[in-house]
Structure 1
Amino acid sequence: MQFGIFGVGDVARDPVSGRTPTEHERIKALVEYARLAEDVGLDVFAIGEHHNPPFVPSSPTTLLGYIAARTERILLSTSTTLITTNDPVKIAEDYATLQHLADGRLDLMLGRGNTGPVYPWFGQDIRNGIALAMENHALLRRLWREEVVDWEGEFRTPLQGFTATPRPLDGVAPFVWHASIRSPEIAEQAAYYGDGFFHNNLFWPKEHVRQLVDLYRRRFEYYGHGRAEQAVVGLAAHLFVRPDSQDALREFRPYFDGSAGYGSGPSLEDTMARTAVLVGSPQQVIERVLTYRENAGGDYQRQLFNVDGIGVPHKTVLEQIELLGEIVPVLREEFALGRPAHVPDAPTHASLIATGHAQPPRGADPTARRTPAVVQP
């Protein structure tokens, strides 16, 4: 079981102090969070991709490349990489380069993004979002798995005799998670390829999360990748923890109420009851996270926590990471209890080599030209 932190790099006003950090401060802070996450024993640091204000991570490969040079152990990921508005050739080359720089400590989440104006900025139409995600991912797989690619699709100029460079480290493509909060087509896509499925369930009730994850698990088994309980699942949560639960609620409330995402909806207490917003003491957080097995339809592989953003000050974020470092060892022990031996761990570069993924297949990827059928949950 992997535990880590993720963020989207928003630049938000602190509703308590009234101060808004600069873009420079936010970028440098993200690096500090990643380094501290490694120091306290977390497994994963992930950062999103945004091309619109008030967000700063428009170049996650640059940011993660710098973090790779400042860390030694922690696995680096994205949350998410925009598979719809990025050129698959550029994704293949950028992330293969980053994979080399990080000595294999890399995977990535692919997502469509939820900001409509971004699509035309990159020459695309949001109405083609699902089709772009399907086609671009199929091409990305081939670019990583085939030395020479001949390809023609709907949304990109054809490729003839093209080789993406550098080639993936040790002949192993970075593991891919497909991230979605509402689209059965993306859950189906993840299952079709045997990739991971990550549900960023901050705003959604557990019933919705379970429905989409169950669809992915059923279709993972249908496509012959293993039993449903062996599917590779990741979940998210928004965390704010203090030694005393009442202090946590009191301190977090103004940030919740002032947030563009949370503030105009249900109350903090209602949101905590229905979604993956965790506010309380360490023991309360542990007890709540352990219930996520139900949301995931069984044992799962990755749990990420959002601890920064929505104006929470830098010092407080560092304190959250420190406390999470105390919580995670308990969660590891509890999740290990009763975990079936046939349920895999989250894939890593080393595990993919060990299971025979180091030899690229010869010829064309037989799945690349096929479109997964869409099965409604």
Structure 2
Amino acid sequence: MQFGIFTVGDVTTDPTTGRTPTEGERIKAMVAIAKKAEEVGLDVFATGEHHNPPFVPSSPTTLLGYIAASTEKIVLSTSTTLITTNDPVKIAEDFAMLQHLADGRVDLMLGRGNTGPVYPWFGQDIRQGIPLAIENYALLHRLWREDVVDWQGKFRTPLQGFTSTPRPLDDTPPFVWHGSIRSPEIAEQAAYYGDGFFANHIFWPTDHFQRLIDLYRRRYEHYGHGSADQAIVGLGGQVFMRKNSQDAVREFRPYFDNAPVYGHGPSLEEFTEQTPLTVGSPQEVIDKTLTFRESFGDYQRQLFLMDHAGLPLKTVLEQLDLLGEEVVPVLRRELDGKRPAHVPDAATHASLVAGRKPEVVA
């Protein structure tokens, strides 16, 4: 079982002080958070990709390459790489390069993103979002597995005798997660290739994501990658902790109430009841996170969102101390102890090189 954090890289005013970090401060804070995540024993650091204010991570591989140079163990990933508006050739090259720099500590999560205007900014039509995701990944999948590619598609110029460089480390492409909050077509795509499916269920109720994950598991088995319970599932979550739950609620409330995404909507209490958000003590975080297995079955990766809504860096680092020292050891013990022997761990570069995950080429 892998545990980690993901960031969306928002630049948000702290509602308790009125101070807004600069873009440079926010970028450096993300680096500090990644290094702290490794220090406290987490397995994964993932960054989003955005091309509009108030977000800063427009170049995930640049950020992750910098972090790779100052870390040793933590897996570097994305919490969305835009498969619709990035050229698959550039994704293939960038992540293969990052693989070499990070000695294989790399995977990525593909998604369509949730910012509509990004499509015309990069010359695409949002109405073609699903076909773009399907065609672009079909090409990316081949670019990492075939030394010479001839390609004819709908959305980009043809390729003739093209070789993507560098080649993937050890001739082994990075593991791919397909992230979605609403699209059964993406769950189907993940199942078809035998890739991972990540349900970032931080905003919508559990039953919505149960349907997506159940579909992915059934189709994973249908395509011959293993039994449904062996499918590779990742989940998102949000937490804010203090030793005392009342202190956590009191401190986090102004950040929640003014957050750019869900502020000025449902109350903190309503939101925590209806979504995975947990605001309370470490034990409350443990208790609620353990219910995810009851809802979704055994899964391989749990990522938490912790550095958003204007929370200062000092507070985020304190949250990571609590997560690494008091929460993750218990979750790891409990969830690994309950997982049947035939259900695999999350894929790593070493496990893929060793051939522990069967490869099915489309």
* 1:45 paired residue number: 45
Cα deviation, residue 338, structure 1: 2.4
SS in 2 for 1:197: strand
Cα deviation for residue 294 of structure 1 reads 2.3
- Provide Cα deviations, 1:250-298, integer angstroms capped at 9, x if missing partner: 10010000012111321111111111111110001001000001232x1
- Tell me if structure 1 keeps the 8 A contact 2:347–2:357: no
Residue 356 of structure 1: how far off its partner (Å): 6.1
Structure 1 distance, partners of 2:102, 2:278, is: 31
Q: Which aligned pairs between 1:121-140 and structure 2 lie closer than 5 A?
A: 121-140=121-140
Corresponding residue for residue 80 of structure 2: 80
Q: Counterparts of 1:23 and 1:338 in 2: how far apart (Å)? A: 43
Secondary structure, counterpart of 2:238 in structure 1: strand
2:234–2:301: 8 Å Cα contact kept in structure 1? yes
Identity of aligned residues (%): 73
User: Given the alignment of the two structures, is residue 335 of structure 1 paired with residue 335 of structure 2, yes or no?
Assistant: yes
Alignment of 1:152-231 (within 5 A): 152-231=152-231
TM-superposed deviation, 1:357:
6.8
Query: Residue 205 of structure 1 aligns to which amino acid in structure 2?
Result: P
Question: For residues 224 and 197 of structure 1, what CA distance do their matches in structure 2 show?
Answer: 16
Contact 1:4–1:43 (CA under 8 A) maintained in structure 2: yes
Asked whether the equivalents of residues 209 and 295 of structure 1 are also in contact (C-alpha less than 8 Å), the reply is no
8 Å CA contact 1:236–1:305 kept in 2: the answer is: yes
Contact 1:210 1:294 in 2 (8 A): no
CA-atom RMSD in angstroms: 1.2
In 2, Cα distance between the equivalents of 1:99 and 1:239? 30
Classify the secondary structure of the residue corresponding to 2:18. coil
Q: Deviations over 1:7-35 (max 9, x none)?
A: 11000000001100000000000000000
Report Cα offsets for 1:118-153 as digits up to 9, x if no partner: 100100000000000000000000000000000000
How much has 1:181 moved relative to structure 2?
0.5
Question: Alpha-carbon deviations, 1:151-200, whole Å to 9, x = none?
Answer: 00000000000000000000100000000001000001000110000011
> Which 5+ residue runs of structure 2 have no aligned equivalent?
none
Q: Aligned partner of 2:293: which letter?
A: R
- CA positional deviation for 1:58: 0.3
Mapping for residues 82-161 of structure 1, pairs under 5 Å: 82-161=82-161
CA distance in 2, matches of 1:219, 1:264: 39
> AA paired with 1:325?
G
Which residue does the alignment assign to 2:289?
A: 289
Separation of aligned partners in 1, 2:141 and 2:179:
16
Aligned to 1:324: 323
Contact 1:172 1:357 in 2 (8 A): no
Any unmatched runs of 5+ in structure 1? 368-377
